[in-house]
Amino acid sequence: MKELLEPVLKQLPGYLPNLASLVTGPKTAIRRWIEEAAGDLTRPLIFVGVSVALGFLLQLPQLGKEADFATLIAGMAVFKILALLLFAAIIHLLFRVVSGRASFAATFSAYLYIVSPLYLVLVIGEIATLGVLRAYDPAVGTAERLDPAQLFADSERMRTFAAAAPGLALAYGLLISARVIVVFGWFIACWGALRHLHAVARWRSALAGIATIAAAAIFFPGMNYVLLGMFGTSIPTLR
């Protein structure tokens, strides 16, 4: 715990203003930072590292006492590095197909900046969702933690939930829907930075974007099998 908290606290004075700049003007901030870095990955790696560390800290109360904290943190860190590299490579390849010209370092940096605030928002959103479900039934909240959105996908259980606690069911549905809207809305807001870096026309960028969505629909569910291979019979509760 101390080993995770101390580096985060040291980086917060510089991290928070950068986070505010990114959220309020994503395309401008991403383009400026990447052009200033000239291929150096230090800044985006620190930025995503602090974001992930904050996300881990927010989720600590959710971890059971039986969890091996050090092993879980190390394993999830390795998994996230792998996932970030692979999906950035997919985005880079798709931009290359539509005649993009940026280096992989630029694409990777942009992707790290894009996913960092998104990760924090999704973590906070999941915590809020779990709070709603635990207010309804603690056992349902525990099941949701192990299998996110499983209740939302089960129409019969959702009807039971809505009948027993209509206000909580509405809040749950809104939170699940908000996650989808946030993901798509944020990527649309940031996509222009990638278009600028790769110096492609809007229609080429749109084609790369559509292909990226299709690739994501295959890639991220597929990465769950990597998690199962790493951690055993169930996906870890740390996101």
User: Does 212 score more than 70 pLDDT?
Assistant: yes
Enter the pTM of the model: 0.90
Burial of 216 (0-12, 13-18, 19+ CB in 10 A): middle
**Whether the Cβ atoms of residue 153 and residue 70 lie closer than 8 Å to each other:** no
Rounded CA separation 12/183 (Å): 24
**Whether the Cβ atoms of residue 199 and residue 31 lie closer than 8 Å to each other:** no
Domain map of the chain by residue range? 2-231
Give the tokens for residue 52: 């992930």
Burial of 172 (0-12, 13-18, 19+ CB in 10 A): buried
pLDDT in tens, 18-76: 999 999 999 999 999 999 988 889 899 999 999 998 998 888 877 766 556 777 888 88
Taking the chain, what is the end-to-end CA distance rounded to the nearest angstrom? 17
What does each C-alpha distance from 174 to 28, 158, 177, 186, 225 come to in angstroms?
Answer: 30, 13, 5, 18, 28
